[in-house]
Each structure stands twice: as C-alpha cells, then as structure tokens.
C-alpha cells in the first residue's frame, strides 16, 4: 500500500458502516517516512507542542480531549509516555478506564465519563474510554444487542455536547497487526522485567480478534464526524505511531486560534523595586 489516509475517508452514515474495513489499513504503513525522518521532526514537533499547550493553558478558553483505543499491546501506555513527555504535566490529566465498579454499573454508561472531560485550558487523555461499551460489551454479550446498538447514538450526542462546550476531540485507534501483537506478548513472557505487563486474560481476547475488529469497524464508522474524528494510526512501528499522533495533535492545536491572553495595562511603566 503506497498511500494511506489517517482519517477514514467518509462521514459516518448507514452506508459507511458497511464499506469501512480495518483490513484496508496497513498497520505497518509509514506514510513515506523513515525512522531518521521522524527523528528529525521530533525536536520541532515537541517544541511546538509545548508552546501550544502553554497557550491553551494560559488562554483558558478551550480544551483538548485525546482518546486512545486499541487491542492489547498496541501501546496505549507508551504512547502517553512518549507523545506527552514534552509538555507540562500540570496541564494534562490522564484517565484510564478500567472495568466499571459496582457504583458505576448502577448508573448509565456515560456517568463515569463526563466528569473526566478536561476543563478549559487542559489536555485530557482517555486510556480506553466510553467506546468500551460498544466494544468489550458487544463482543462478550454483556448486554442485549438492542442496548449497545442505542449507545452509538448516545456516544455521538455526548461527543457533540462536549465539542460544543469548547473541547476539541481527537480519537486514535492504534492499529496493530495480529502477528505484531503476538510478538509483543511473547516479549513480555520472555523478559522477567515485563512479566507485570502480561495478563493471561489477554489470551481469550486475542482469540476474539475478528469479533473485536468488527466491533471497532462499527464504532469508527458510526462515530466518525468532523467535530470528533477517528484517526487510524499504524502502530506496528512505535516511532510511526508516536510521530503521527504528535503531528496530528500539533496540527489540531494550531487550528484552535490559541494565543496568550493580553497583558495587564501599564506593564511598560512598572519598575521592580530593589
């Protein structure tokens, strides 16, 4: 595959959900980059990201929500570590959505999500998200089909509300190949220092690969809109993943008309006392 878009080439509708297939996206795609090309871009991208985050924080008029979804071992944790290492941690909040607690299950599925949307001036990162309720819930038949079917509309309405409230949304699917996932899981078994990362619960999920691909295809196709776009990021090469995500975030922040707030009047006349 010589050319590949990041954003699925459609606006979500009933037709799109039948024509979009993750198999059409190469998880090893490099967008014409070499590793040295990416390294050359790294410093400039990180410097610009840091500057834009400071403007976002100082201006305090909007926020950015970054959603990361992926199969096991695709690198959600390492993406957070590497992509956001150049920015001020005071302006970033990370939420890892685990299995819902009994209290959370006693409410609607978005009840635990809304309070974690970043306030104005902040960047929020969701490590997994509300999409688990149309992914793992669907694949494992945790609720009736008519229940998770309605959730696509609930998600779209929720994200529109968040967007209209001043939060830009970026959704990244870290697209790893099945063979690469096997390699990374094996690396965790072979290295004692990585044993803590390995869970036997990952193996049944791997056996459900095709079911999860179908669930992701439906979620991406039905919940992809200009105000909350999905980006399919090739994740077999970690440096491609990190470069593409950083560049996409920087370009999004640059489109948000960020600026430092105006200074107090009369600063040019102030003399700092001895």
Q: Is residue 10 part of a domain?
A: no
Taking residues 39-50, report their average pLDDT: 95
Residues 107-144: pLDDT tens digits?
A: 999 999 999 999 999 999 999 999 999 999 999 999 99
Taking residues 63-79, report their average pLDDT: 97
Residue 217 has pLDDT above 60, yes or no: yes
Q: Is residue 181 part of a domain?
A: yes
Question: So what's the pLDDT on residue 20?
Answer: 86
Taking residues 253-259, report their average pLDDT: 97
d(Cα 228, Cα 53) in Å, to the nearest integer?
A: 20
Q: Is residue 273 part of a domain?
A: no
Question: So what's the pLDDT on residue 8?
Answer: 74
Question: So what's the pLDDT on residue 1?
Answer: 34
Residue 201 has pLDDT above 90, yes or no: no
Q: Is residue 130 part of a domain?
A: yes
The CATH number covering residue 126 comes to 3.40.50.300
Residues 143-185: pLDDT tens digits?
A: 999 999 999 999 999 999 999 999 999 999 999 999 999 999 9
Residue 226 has pLDDT above 50, yes or no: yes
Domain ranges, residue 247: 16-254
Higher pLDDT, 238 or 202: 238
Q: Is residue 263 part of a domain?
A: no
Q: Is residue 232 part of a domain?
A: yes
Taking residues 196-218, report their average pLDDT: 92
Cα 175 to Cα 18, 23, 187, 237, distances in angstroms: 19, 10, 19, 10
Q: What is the DSSP string of 174-230?
A: EE--HHHHHHHHHHHHH-GGGGGG--TTHHHHHHTHHHHHHHHHHHHHHS-BTTB-E
Residue 6 has pLDDT above 90, yes or no: no
Q: Is residue 9 part of a domain?
A: no
Q: Is residue 274 part of a domain?
A: no
Grade residue 17 by pLDDT with cuts at 50, 70 and 90: low
Nearest to residue 167, comparing CAs of 50, 61, 12, 250?
61
Cα 1 to Cα 32, 36, 180, 244, distances in angstroms: 11, 21, 18, 17
Structural domain count of the chain: 1
Grade residue 55 by pLDDT with cuts at 50, 70 and 90: very high
């Amino acid at each position: 595959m010589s050319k590949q878009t990041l954003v699925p080439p459609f606006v979500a509708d009933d037709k799109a959900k039948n024509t979009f297939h993750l198999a059409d996206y190469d998880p090893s795609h490099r967008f014409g980059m070499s590793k040295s090309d990416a390294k050359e871009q790294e410093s400039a991208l990180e410097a610009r990201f840091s500057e834009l985050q400071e403007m976002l924080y100082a201006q305090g008029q909007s926020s950015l929500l970054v959603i990361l979804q992926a199969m096991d071992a695709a690198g959600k944790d390492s993406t957070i570590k590497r992509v956001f290492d150049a920015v001020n941690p005071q302006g970033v909040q990370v939420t890892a959505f685990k299995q819902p607690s009994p209290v959370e299950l006693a409410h609607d599925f978005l009840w635990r999500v809304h309070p974690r949307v970043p306030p104005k001036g902040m960047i929020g990162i969701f490590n997994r998200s509300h999409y688990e309720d149309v992914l793992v819930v669907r694949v494992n038949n945790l609720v009736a089909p008519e229940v998770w079917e309605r959730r696509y509309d609930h998600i779209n309405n929720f994200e529109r509300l968040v967007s209209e409230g001043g939060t830009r949304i970026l959704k990244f699917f870290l697209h790893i190949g099945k063979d690469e996932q096997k390699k990374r899981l094996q690396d965790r078994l072979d290295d004692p220092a990585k044993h803590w990362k390995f869970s036997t619960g990952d193996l049944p999920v791997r056996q459900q690969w095709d079911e999860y691909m179908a669930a992701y295809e439906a979620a991406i196709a039905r919940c992809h809109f200009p105000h909350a776009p999905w980006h399919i990021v090739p994740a077999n090469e970690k440096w491609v993943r990190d470069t593409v995500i950083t560049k996409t975030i920087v370009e999004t922040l640059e489109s948000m008309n960020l600026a430092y707030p105006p200074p107090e009047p009369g600063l040019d006349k102030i003399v700092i006392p001895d």
